[in-house]
Structure 1
Amino acid sequence: MQDLINYFETIPSLHRSIILVGGITFFWLLEGSLPLFKFKYRKWQHALPNLFFTLTTVIINFAFAFLLLKTADWVSANNFGLINWLPEMPLWLYVLLGVLLLDFFGAYLAHYVEHKAKPLWMVHLVHHTDHNVDTTTANRHHPIESVIRFAFTLFGVFVVGTPIGIVMLYQSLSLVATQFTHANIKMSKKADKLLSYFIVSPDMHKVHHHYVLPYTDSNYGNIFSIWDRLFGTYMELDREKIVYGVDVFPDEEANGKIGELLKQPFQKYQKPTILPDK
């Protein structure tokens, strides 16, 4: 475990790039052989805006990386943060708690707030207006959202007290997890359900991409499913009933253009449809 943390403390940028590109490539190929939905789209054409926003996310995270490093170094030097105030524990447990809590602050909490605050929802909308969710959708985030997500992660590092090795491990796991859960791959329903008791599974997350409430406001988790189950935001919907997109922004052509997506956060807020309780 110590060797793993030592590796992530100084993980080369090339290795991080390999995780990003390798993950997309792996799930892209898997989608071709085990598709959940047979989309009628040109895969590369659909991917272009998503890859553009992936690039902007990488640039923003790289630009602010020094803040992450400085914060992680400070909490370590000052023994500050939740996991540092707990009684001494085995390293594996220390690492697990660090990743688990970073997943809460950097992913679940950030995601939840984006759905509840109208201005932030308009920014996050870019991610939800993809009508053909696949692995390239994973990092389809408006540049403003990339800054917001980074701020939540930075806050998490400060509150949790995670050293940089755990931070880099968390970010790597988070990246692969989001590529996996967005991938257009078909697992057996039993295997997916079993997986969802521990981590966010593909079917579990795709419920979140259903085009109407209350499903859109559910399953906010990224790596671990415990947060949705703990806070009552877990929902299920049969995969065959899922329709991607957002009901109040139904123009699929516009939602596939980079220029239109960059302007989406500044459009007038439209009240979404809420399905009645059955």
Structure 2
Amino acid sequence: MWKWLHPYAKTERAYQLCLTLQPWFWVGALACLSVGTVWGLAFAPQDYQQGDSFRIIYIHVPSAILSMGTYVAMAIAALVGMVWQWRTAYMSMIAMAPIGAVMTFIALFTGAAWGKPMWGAWWVWDARLTSELILLFLYMGVIALYGAFEDKQQAGKAAGVMALVGVVNIPIIHYSVEWWNTLHQGATISKFDNPSIAPEMLWPLLINLLGFAFFIGAVITVRLRNEIVLREMHRPWVQALAMNKALNQQPGDAATASLKEGS
């Protein structure tokens, strides 16, 4: 596996990989989110207790799951950067951080909106809600720490240490419902042998989960490309890329300049 990944330690290869994957991620996100959202909001049956208010699950659950998944991926990238000294690993880490923070915020916001009719309050200091809030602070801490250093290699190392330390919060979020007596409901889709949700409600949820994953992948590839360009502006291949892009976007200006030189 590491032999397969090793070529992408080079920034140019990582940039090309992002270009290759990005359209597939966007297509997958558009297809899955369209099908899953329409199916879940319009065709899935009502919950016998919550009525139509349960439909927020199609946004809340994918964002909550992927807020944790993105953090784990960010921590793995930090570990790779620290062990093998890959600059692209640190770039990937910081490319993921804002996306994970947004997913965490969406999970908290939709959870509060769902909790209001169910619990009678927008917020309670439930173990899962509190640990999810801590996850948001961890994301913000990684972003702030990375931005505090001018030397981005040192910034990646410092932010990577924080990302790795924060991994301990992930199992706390996941198992908090089992470890403590909380208001938050238990596992639903993770119990594959006997899921606590009807199949006609489960399938659009799984499709939306996949759609969110594709969307996160697409945005991360965009952010990683931008990070590579910003960090590698002095490299000839980046300068050539910028020149080609400028010529493609402004053909009229280039033609005018050529006419002026000829005259």
Q: TM-score with structure 2 length normalisation?
A: 0.29
Q: TM-score with structure 1 length normalisation?
A: 0.27
| Highest RCO, 1 vs 2 (Cα 8 Å, sep ≥ 6) | 2
Structure with a larger share of its residues in helix: 2
